[in-house]
A = this chain, B = another copy of it.
Amino acid sequence: MIQYLKYISVVLQKRENVAVNKKTVRINKLIDILKVRSFVSIKELSSVLNVSEMTIRRDLEILKDNNIAENIYGTTVYNPAHTVAKSEDEYNLLGETKKKNTQKDDIGRFAASLVNEDDIIIIDSGSTTERIAASLPVDRNISVLCYNINILMELRRNPGVKMIFAGGFYHSNTQMFECPESIDFIKGVRAQKVFVSAAGVHSQLGVTCANSYEVPVKRAILQSSLQKILVTDSSKFDIVRPAFFCELDQIDVIVTDNNLSEDWRNRISEAGITLYTV
């Protein structure tokens, strides 16, 4: 599965003169077709690209793993979420593996179960937090503040959710919007719970993220919320990323997967933080 990533990276670096092979060319064409026609059948793609339907299915699986498109029984739909751009410092949502995705799903589902009727919650940027938005109970009266386009899309599907959005300029690497006025806006909101993500959690250097522009936003959402819930998979522990946004002891609850080391379990418990592993 790992080897597929190279295709995507070539897709991302289209303009550079990287040696491209047939498969890469075909996948690029496929994406181009999907961009224009939101829904296409596999049969049609197969005849247009002159390969068997089976090959198209395999290509689509790659695209699905990378959240570019999905095949839903009969029609392939393009996911416009995928905006092609290289990240500030190589940290790209596309780079996450498929295995981690199910972990993220589990973490997200569990975190969503912490939300009660009439709660006002804030959902931070990230692929794990996106899963929270997707797993929120339906037909429950919940207000949700966010600033990510992918999370907004998920919330929109839930008729019970009152959406609050902090806008600004778009950062395609994280799919979030951000500007100074949004910080003011967030500071004027009050929430029972915040679900904050992190790219690094370190015992001495604290909780960090990849991009400096995220810092004021993360600090504002922590400040506006009563209960501070950190959601991140276990691979982020012992990692340090360039942008520091809070100390670990500012966090009330951590939700992560059960690959977390004993060391960390102790450390978290000693810090008086509630830990949930899924």
Q: Which residues of B contact A185 (CB under 8 A)?
A: 167-168, 179, 181-182
Interface of A: prevailing SS? mixed
Most buried by B among A152, A153, A156: A156
Q: Which residues of B contact A75 (CB under 8 A)?
A: 39, 72-75, 77
- B170 adjacent to A167 (CB under 8 Å): no
Bound-state CA distance A32–B156 (Å) is 12
Q: Which residues of B contact A237 (CB under 8 A)?
A: none
- B83 adjacent to A156 (CB under 8 Å): yes
* A163: Cβ under 8 A from any B Cβ: yes
Q: Which residues of B contact A169 (CB under 8 A)?
A: 162-164
- A164 adjacent to B157 (CB under 8 Å): no
Bound-state CA distance A38–B72 (Å) is 12
Q: Which residues of B contact A152 (CB under 8 A)?
A: 149, 152
Min Cβ gap A214→B in Å is 16
Bound-state CA distance A153–B39 (Å) is 13
A-B contact pairs, 30 of them (CB 8 A): A36-B157, A36-B159, A37-B157, A38-B77, A38-B157, A39-B72, A72-B74, A72-B75, A73-B74, A75-B75, A75-B77, A80-B153, A80-B156, A80-B157, A81-B156, A147-B167, A149-B152, A162-B170, A164-B168, A164-B169, A165-B165, A165-B168, A166-B167, A167-B167, A167-B168, A167-B177, A179-B185, A181-B181, A181-B184, A182-B185
Chain A residues near B (Cβ < 8 Å)? 32, 35-39, 41, 72-75, 77-78, 80-81, 83-84, 147, 149, 152-153, 156-157, 159, 162-170, 177, 179, 181-182, 184-185, 188
